[in-house]
């Protein structure tokens, strides 16, 4: 099989070959990791996009927004046997949010609404975002405020059978000023919150830019990782287009026994089929 880098490097056909049998592209049906693909990689209505997710054999689709007819999306997803892997849950990439106690009531209300949307969609993972760092409060104060907010959100997650996954973002390239950036910082927060329903969303792209040490951090902290986001660096495109060895990374995740979703939160380099096949090639580590 060609390497994931080789498959990502050129152009191929868009869509199935002429005369290809329905379902013949279902590459991910028996994959060693549960890979979720972004809906925006496909064309057509949301329902048509979900049908294409299933055609490739993906068990889930990554769709962080909650706009549109949620009931229609749920019906189509149930029909073809896929699920949403994660949606936005609480907080934002903006000033305020969890780092400011004056905003905690609003964050709690937002989370309650998003939990209802998640249940409507049959989704069990929701993203948590701390908001941007403040210049009028110390680092330790802001860490404490984030913990306070999450301790209010945790019982809601526990009562509804969902997990809030707290995402660290890079500030060097994409999200200047965001508060939560490092794995050790995230783990310190999760230690204080101490809930099985509050974990880390480990975004491999962001953490490569911020701190590297990807495989060691994943394996060391896998018990507190509830979701993965995948993109290569630089460029934030599919695996095989940058510097990350996704074959080794995916193998390391699999060896931990992780059973959640590994979601492609990235663009593609211009050809959806080639990008999908490049991702699949990264799962061949024998």
DSSP class of residue 176 equals T
How far apart are the C-alpha atoms of 104 and 81, rounded to whole Å?
37
Selecting among 167, 192, 238, 243, the annotated active-site residue is 167
Selecting among 62, 238, 265, 273, the annotated active-site residue is 265
Q: Which two tokens stand for residue 160?
A: 């509804």
> What are the beta bridge partners of residue 83?
60
Q: Is 228 within 8 Å of 253 (Cβ atoms)?
A: yes
Whether the bond between 136 and the residue before it is cis, its omega within 30 degrees of 0, is no
Measuring CA to CA, how many Å separate 102 from each of 98, 148, 161?
A: 9, 12, 27
Strand ranges in 39-128 using DSSP code E only, listed in sequence order: 60-62, 83-84, 87-90, 125-128
Q: Which two tokens stand for residue 44?
A: 């057509």
* Residue 76 burial (CB count, 10 A): 20
Q: Does the annotation mark 265 as catalytic?
A: yes
Q: Which of 281, 230, 278, 276 is nearest to 253 (CA)?
A: 230
Q: Which of 42, 40, 80 is nearest to 63 (CA)?
A: 40
Q: Does the annotation mark 238 as catalytic?
A: no
How far apart are the C-alpha atoms of 125 and 199, rounded to whole Å?
10
How far apart are the C-alpha atoms of 135 and 86, rounded to whole Å?
31
> Beta strand 125-128 with 261-264: parallel, antiparallel or unpaired?
unpaired
Q: Which residues are catalytic?
A: 167, 265
């Amino acid at each position: 099989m060609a390497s994931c880098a080789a498959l990502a490097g050129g152009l191929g056909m868009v869509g199935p070959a002429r005369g290809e049998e329905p379902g013949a592209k279902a590459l991910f049906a028996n994959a060693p990791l549960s890979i979720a693909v972004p809906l925006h990689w496909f064309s057509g209505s949301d329902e048509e996009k979900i049908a294409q997710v299933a055609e490739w054999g993906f068990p889930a689709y990554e769709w962080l927004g909650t706009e549109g007819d949620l009931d229609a999306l749920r019906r189509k997803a149930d029909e073809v046997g896929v699920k949403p892997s994660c949606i936005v849950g609480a907080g934002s990439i903006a000033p305020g949010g969890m780092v400011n106690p004056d905003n905690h009531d609003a964050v709690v209300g937002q989370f309650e609404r998003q939990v209802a949307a998640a249940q409507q969609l049959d989704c069990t993972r929701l993203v948590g975002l701390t908001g941007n760092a403040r210049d009028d409060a110390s680092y330790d104060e802001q860490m404490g405020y984030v913990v306070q907010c999450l301790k209010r959100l945790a019982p809601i997650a526990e009562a509804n059978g969902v997990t809030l996954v707290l995402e660290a973002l890079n500030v060097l390239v994409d999200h200047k000023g965001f508060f939560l950036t490092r794995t050790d910082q995230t783990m310190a927060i999760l230690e204080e919150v101490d809930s099985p329903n509050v974990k880390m969303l480990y975004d491999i792209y962001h953490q490569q830019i911020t701190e590297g040490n990807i495989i060691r951090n994943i394996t060391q902290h896998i018990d507190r990782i509830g979701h993965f986001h995948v993109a290569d660096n630089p460029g934030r495109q599919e695996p095989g287009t940058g510097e990350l060895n996704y074959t080794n990374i995916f193998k390391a995740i699999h060896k931990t026994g992780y059973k959640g979703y590994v979601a492609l939160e990235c663009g593609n380099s211009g050809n959806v089929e080639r990008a999908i096949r490049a991702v699949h090639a990264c799962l061949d580590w024998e």
